[in-house]
Amino acid sequence: MVSIVIVSHSPDLAKGVHALAEQMTQGKVQIAVAAGVDDPENPIGTDAIAIMMAIEEVYSPEGVLVLVDMGSAILSTDMALELMGSEQTTNVHICAAPLIEGAMSASVAAAAGMSLEEVTNEAHNALLAKYQLLNQSAKLPNGIPTDVLPTPTDSEYETEVEWLVQNPHGIHARPASAIVGAISAFDAQIWLRCHDRRVSAKSINSIALLDVKQGDTLACIASGKEAQQALQAFQLLAHNHFNESIDEKIDVMNKQNSANTIHQFTDIIEDEHGCLRAIGISEGIAIAPIWHYRATMPKARDRSYLGYEQEWTLYTQASDAAQQELSQLADRTAHAGSKSESDIFTAHCAMLADPDLSNQIAQQLSNKINVENAWSSIIEQTAQAYKDVSSEYMQARAKDIYDIGRRVMRLLIGEAEQKTVLTEPVILAAVDLSPSDTAQLDPTMIKGIILEQGGSTSHSAILARALGIPAITGLNKLMSRSQEGSVAVINGCSGEVWLSPTSLQLESAQKELEKQQFQKEQAQAAMIEKAYTQDGISVDIFANLATLEDADQALNSGAEGVGLVRSEFLFMEREQAPSEQYQYEFYSQIANTFGNKQVIIRTLDIGGDKPLAYLQQGHEDNPFLGCRGLRLCLQNEELFKVQLNALLRARAKHPNLYVMFPMVSTPEELHQAKSLLSDCHNALQRDGISSAIPEIGIMIEVPAAVVNAKQLAKEVSFFSVGTNDLTQYVMAADRGNNAVSYLVSATQPAVLRMIELAVKAAHDAGIPIGICGEMAGDPKLTETLIGMGIDKLSMSPIRIAAVKQAVRATHHQQAKRKAKEVLNAETLPQILAML
> What is the distance between the alpha carbons of residues 754 and 747, in angstroms, rounded to a whole number?
11
| Max Cα distance, the chain (Å) | 95
> What is the distance between the alpha carbons of residues 790 and 813, in angstroms, rounded to a whole number?
14
* DSSP element (H, E) containing 190: strand 189-194
Q: Phi first, then psi: what are they for 532, rounded to 5°?
A: -125, 150
Q: Please give the radius of gyration of the chain, using alpha carbons only, rounded to the nearest integer.
A: 30
* DSSP element (H, E) containing 602: strand 599-602
> What is the distance between the alpha carbons of residues 472 and 282, in angstroms, rounded to a whole number?
7
Alpha helices in 557-656 (DSSP H): 580-593, 630-635, 637-653
Sequence-distant (≥ 6) Cβ neighbours of residue 150 within 8 angstroms: 125, 128
Q: Which of 124, 241, 459, 654 is catalytic?
A: 459
Q: Phi first, then psi: what are they for 200, rounded to 5°?
A: -65, 135
> What is the distance between the alpha carbons of residues 755 and 776, in angstroms, rounded to a whole number?
12
Pairing of strands 769-771, 718-721: parallel
- Assess whether 459 carries a catalytic annotation: yes
| Other CB atoms within 10 Å distance of the CB of residue 266 | 7
| Other CB atoms within 10 Å distance of the CB of residue 586 | 20
Q: Which of 493, 633, 680, 772 is catalytic?
A: 772
- Assess whether 263 carries a catalytic annotation: no
Pairing of strands 496-498, 487-491: antiparallel
Pairing of strands 64-68, 92-95: parallel
The phi-psi region of residue 63 (left if phi > 0; otherwise alpha if psi is between -120 and 50; otherwise beta) is: left
- Whether 118 and 105 have beta carbons less than 8 Å apart is answered as no
Sequence-distant (≥ 6) Cβ neighbours of residue 575 within 8 angstroms: 613, 614
> What is the distance between the alpha carbons of residues 741 and 801, in angstroms, rounded to a whole number?
29
- Annotated active-site positions, please? 459, 772
